[in-house]
C-alpha cells in the first residue's frame, strides 16, 4: 500500500476541550491520512505551558502562541519580550494568532490594534512568521500590516483566509501567504475560491483551524487535522494540479515560511 502524499495542517487547536483525552488518536489519524505535521496554536498565554508540553510529546507537532484578538480586552497584553523569550523553544514556530476581529468584538478595536502591533514587533525581532486572524476588519488590517512593514520587514500568513479580494491583494503585495481552510470547500464559497485561484501557488498554505470549520464531507462535525486532505483536494482542483503536485507545492510553501519546523524535519 502506497503512503499518501505528505501535507501539513498549519493551524489547529489541539489543546481545546473538544479534543480532551483524544490527542494521541487525533495525531495518529492525521498521520495515517498523510498529515505529518501540525502547528497547534495557543490563543491565551495562560494556556501556553499546556500547549508546549503537548508538542514535546509528539513528533511533528509544533506550536505558536499569542493573544487572540477576541481575547485582547480580557487578558493582559503580552509583551514583545514575553513572545521573544517563548520563541527560544525549538518547537515554537510562529507568533500569534493575533489580528483584528470586529465581527464579535468591535468594541475592543483599539486594544486589538495595540496587541496586533506588539505581535508584529515580536515577529520582526524573533524572525518567526506572524499568524493573522482577520474578520470584518479588512481596511484596518491592510493599513496596519502595511504601516508596520514599512517600519521593518516581517513574514506573515493570513490564517483561515476568508476576507475580501482587496485584503488578499494587500497581503500578497507584502509577500505574505494565504492559508486555505475548510471554508474554501464550502459550497457557497465560490468568491473565496476565486481569490485563492488568482493567488500565486507559491503563497498558499493548508490548515483546518480544528476543531472548527470541518470541510465537506464532515461539515457540521468536529474538525480535526486529518481533514486537511479534503481542503487540499479542493485546492488542487483550483490550480489544475494533481493532489500529489498540490501537496508538494504547499509543503514547499510551509517550509519556506515556517523555517524552524523545516529545520526540525531536516535534523530528524
Q: Domain ranges for the chain, please list them.
A: 7-267
Q: Averaged over 235-262, what is the pLDDT?
A: 98
Please say whether the beta carbons of 209 and 18 come within 8 A. no
Give strand ranges (E) for 168-245. 177-180, 204-206
Residue 152, classified by CB atoms within 10 Å of its CB into exposed (0-12), middle (13-18) or buried (19+), is exposed
Q: Which of 142, 37, 39, 49 is nearest to 97 (CA)?
A: 39
Query: Order of strands across the sheet with 35-42?
Result: 7-12, 35-42, 61-65, 92-101, 130-135, 156-158, 177-180, 204-206
Q: 267 falls in which pLDDT band (50, 70, 90)?
A: low
Please say whether the beta carbons of 130 and 123 come within 8 A. yes
91 grid coordinates: 518547537
Please say whether the beta carbons of 210 and 13 come within 8 A. yes
**What's the pLDDT score for residue 58?**
97
Inter-CA distances, 14 with 90, 130, 152, 222, Å: 18, 19, 32, 12
Residue 92 above 90 pLDDT? yes
Q: 19 falls in which pLDDT band (50, 70, 90)?
A: very high
Q: Averaged over 29-51, what is the pLDDT?
A: 97
**What's the pLDDT score for residue 249?**
98
Give the CA-trace dihedral at 18, 86, 253, 268, to 10 degrees.
Answer: -90
142 grid coordinates: 491592510
What value does the mean pLDDT of the chain take? 97
| 184 phi, psi to nearest 5 deg | -65, -20
d(CA 260, CA 162): 27
Please say whether the beta carbons of 248 and 266 come within 8 A. no
Q: Which CATH class is domain 7-267?
A: alpha beta
Q: 268 falls in which pLDDT band (50, 70, 90)?
A: low
**What's the pLDDT score for residue 3?**
87
| Segment among 130-139, 140-149, 155-164, 259-268 with least mean pLDDT | 259-268
Q: 1 falls in which pLDDT band (50, 70, 90)?
A: low
**What's the pLDDT score for residue 43?**
97
Q: Which of 221, 223, 219, 250 is nearest to 235 (CA)?
A: 250
Residue 182 above 90 pLDDT? yes
Q: Averaged over 142-157, what is the pLDDT?
A: 98
Cis peptide before 27 (omega within 30 of 0): no
d(CA 130, CA 39): 13
In this prediction, what percent of the chain has a pLDDT beyond 70?
Answer: 99
Residue 113 above 70 pLDDT? yes
**What's the pLDDT score for residue 264?**
85
Q: Which of 202, 203, 181 is nearest to 192 (CA)?
A: 181
pTM over 0.85: yes
Q: Averaged over 81-97, what is the pLDDT?
A: 97
**What's the pLDDT score for residue 197?**
98
Residue 176 above 90 pLDDT? yes
197 grid coordinates: 485561484
Q: Which of 264, 258, 268, 263 is nearest to 128 (CA)?
A: 258
Amino acid at each position: 500500500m502506497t503512503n499518501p502524499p505528505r501535507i501539513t495542517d498549519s493551524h489547529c487547536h489541539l489543546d481545546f476541550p473538544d479534543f480532551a483525552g483524544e490527542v494521541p488518536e487525533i495525531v495518529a489519524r492525521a498521520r495515517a491520512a498523510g498529515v505529518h505535521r501540525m502547528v497547534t496554536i495557543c490563543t491565551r498565554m495562560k494556556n501556553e505551558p499546556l500547549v508546549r508540553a503537548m508538542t514535546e510529546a509528539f513528533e511533528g507537532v509544533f506550536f505558536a502562541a499569542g493573544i487572540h484578538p477576541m481575547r485582547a480586552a480580557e487578558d493582559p497584553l503580552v509583551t514583545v519580550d514575553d513572545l521573544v523569550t517563548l520563541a527560544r523553544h525549538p518547537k515554537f514556530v510562529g507568533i500569534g494568532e493575533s489580528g483584528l476581529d470586529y465581527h464579535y468584538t468591535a468594541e475592543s478595536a483599539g486594544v486589538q490594534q495595540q496587541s496586533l502591533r506588539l505581535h508584529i514587533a515580536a515577529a520582526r525581532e524573533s524572525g518567526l512568521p506572524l499568524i493573522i486572524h482577520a474578520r470584518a476588519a479588512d481596511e484596518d488590517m491592510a493599513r496596519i500590516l502595511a504601516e508596520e512593514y514599512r517600519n521593518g520587514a516581517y513574514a506573515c500568513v493570513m490564517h483561515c483566509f476568508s476576507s475580501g479580494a482587496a485584503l488578499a491583494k494587500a497581503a500578497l503585495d507584502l509577500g505574505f501567504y494565504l492559508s486555505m481552510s475548510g471554508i474554501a470547500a464550502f459550497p457557497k464559497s465560490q468568491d473565496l475560491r476565486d481569490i485563492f485561484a488568482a493567488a500565486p501557488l507559491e503563497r498558499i498554505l493548508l490548515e483546518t483551524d480544528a476543531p472548527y470549520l470541518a470541510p465537506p464531507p464532515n461539515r457540521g462535525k468536529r474538525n480535526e487535522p486529518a481533514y486537511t486532505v479534503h481542503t487540499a483536494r479542493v485546492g488542487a482542483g483550483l490550480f489544475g494540479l494533481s493532489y500529489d503536485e498540490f501537496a508538494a507545492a504547499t509543503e514547499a510553501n510551509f517550509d519556506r515560511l515556517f523555517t524552524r519546523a523545516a529545520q526540525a524535519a531536516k535534523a530528524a
